[in-house]
Amino acid sequence: MVNFDFGDRLRRARKRAGLTQEALAQRLAVGPQTVYRWEAGRARPPKARLPVIARALGVDLSLLAAGASSPATSALPESPPAPRLPLYIMGHIAGTTDAEAEQIDEIEVVPRQARLADSAFVVHGNSMAPYFLDGDVVGVKRQPTAQAGQLVVALADGELTFKRYGGPVGDRGGLLLPLNPEHNPIVAEEIEIFGVYRWCMRESRDGRV
């Protein structure tokens, strides 16, 4: 009976679960390079982290902690698929405030993110810098109203944008405030709140999210 070291067992369990190193890293809230080092035998997670890793892979803890033979590893159960949210893009939408946001893809998220938000939007431009950058993905809970001061995704005069809500203006309008002082506030004649900000995902140079 052959026993595989931790890196081999982790890699086999991950592949059996149908996950990439990046997807597993996202579930564990670590960088992909961390998972790579574990599988390559260059590092090993603390024992306290093993139950979390086992749950993320949908396997029994003993398969990671104590080792498993080749037949046992081949029988690893499949883990449930990671939750996914519709991904939308910012920018101009033809028509009026009854226009729909353009879905461009779906994005895989961790369960906590899925509980907090039901949609994701790609940030465009630097009007929310330095807190939010061009290319960031923000999670949004869809709802038609917001309180002044909340960060919102809103359709303002045909433009889908991410700003701080300043409150209503007139019968159908509203005030939207950038966080970047170099940008001017937007006083929209027609505004529709799509949803309220819940979280942000950003990919750094080393691939961490």
Q: Which residues are catalytic?
A: 127, 163
Contact 58, 77 (CB under 8 A): yes
Measured in degrees and rounded to the nearest 5, phi and psi for residue 75 equal -100, 15
What DSSP assignment string belongs to the chain? -----HHHHHHHHHHHTT--HHHHHHHHTS-HHHHHHHHHTS----GGGHHHHHHHHT--HHHHHT---HHHHHTPPPPPPPPEEEEEE-EE-SSSTTPPP-EEEEEE--HHHHHH-SEEEE--SSTTTTTS-TT-EEEEEE-S---TT-EEEEEETTEEEEEEEEEEETTTEEEEE-SSTTS--EEESSEEEEEEEEEEE---TTS--
Q: Which residues contact 15 (CB under 8 A, 6 or more apart)?
A: none
Tell me how crowded residue 49 is: count the other CB atoms within 10 A of its CB: 14
